[in-house]
Structure formats: structure tokens, C-alpha cells
Amino acid sequence: MRKRQLVARELTEAALQLLARKGFDAVTIDEIAAAAGVSRRTFFRHFASKEDVVVQFLAGLGAAIRAELAARPPAEPPSVALLHAVRVAVDACSGRAERALPVVRLILRTPPLLARFLEHQGQWRDDLAVELAERLGLDPATALYPPLAAGMALAAFHTVLVRWSGSDGAQDPAALLDLAFAVLAPALDTPPTA
């Protein structure tokens, strides 16, 4: 397992370096594999596509967001719980800004990467909706509030990434997140009962 994680990390690093130098369309899977010192076949044991190797850098954030939401005090208002949950992802990006900022920029500016990242966010939304439904005692299969609230929280996260990367890291992502949740809080804190 450890060796598998090491190979995946090496593939991701090789891909990020090549993509930063040459651009997404100019880099092939064979080049990424060669730069990481592995075969094309090994690449495909770890990743389904060139997009996945890049988006992998941010893919684990969804699990971290859900885990933080699950750990929040049950009586906490939804806006506060979701703010803290999303802050985990924002802090993970801004805490590694020298590495994360170029990746975020690449993802947001490359349509195939953005599409894959949005797919991940769709899964995160579904997972957060289930967690919210459990917190509020709602049926995740029928209640409208959980997926809507999860979608709003992730829209805030996405907007913060866009602003942060657009400012070349000059804007404080934590402050942007606070502003976004100040706008969302009234809607998030009045969940319907169904």
C-alpha cells in the first residue's frame, strides 16, 4: 500500500512539473510515466486518465470536508458547521500555496481538468448532503435542504478558489470564505423540516 501511494505521488509530481512547463495538451501519458520512472501500464494502474493524475491533488479534500462536518458539535448551526468543514479544504490549499496555487490555476483554466474537478465536487455534494441529513434528522433521499445546503457550501469553496487563484494568491482565502458564508448563513440556518 505504501509503495502504491509513493508511485501515485511520484506520478502526480511528474505530471504537475511537466504540465507547468508545457501545458496540458502538450503532455502525454507516456511522458508523465517516463518522468516518474514507471511504465505506461503502471500509470494506468494508478490513474484512469491524465486529468485524474492532476485532479488527484485536490481529490482527497471531499473526504476531509465530510469528516470535519461529522466532527462538528450537533447543536451547531448549519452555517457554522459547514463553514468549518469547508475551511479544512481552503486551509489545505492555502497552507501549501506554493504547490496548490499553480495546480488550482491549471485545473480552473483547463476545461478537461475543470470538468473532472466538478465531477469530484458533485460526489462531495452528495456525501455532504447525507451527512447534513443525518445531523438534522432528515431523510437524505427526499429532503431538499441537505443537497441544496451542501451545494451552496461547495459553491462558496469553488468561488474562493477562483478568486484566490485569480489574484495569484494575493487575496486571503480564509477571509474570502468568511465573506461567502456571511452571505449564505441566513439561508443555511433556516432549514425546512422536509
Q: Where are the domains of the chain?
A: 2-47, 56-188
- The mean pLDDT value for 138-143 works out to 91
- CA separation for the pair 155, 142 (Å, rounded): 22
What CATH code would you report for 56-188? 1.10.357.10
CATH for the 2-47 domain, from 1.10.10.60, 1.10.3470.10, 2.60.120.10, 2.60.40.10:
1.10.10.60
Distances from the Cα of 154 to the Cαs of 33, 122, 126, 129, in angstroms?
A: 33, 9, 11, 11
Q: Are 35 and 63 in contact (CB under 8 A)?
A: no
The enclosing H or E element of 158 equals helix 145-166
- pLDDT value at position 129? 96
**Residue 102, CB-side half-sphere exposure with 13 Å CA sphere:** 12
Average pLDDT on 181-194 reads 85
The string of pLDDT tens digits covering residues 56-102 is 777 778 889 999 999 999 999 999 999 999 999 999 888 888 878 88
Per the structure block, which three cell numbers stand in for 72?
A: 462538528
Burial of 25: CB neighbours in 10 Å, binned 0-12, 13-18, 19+? exposed
Do 2-47 and 56-188 agree at the fold level? no
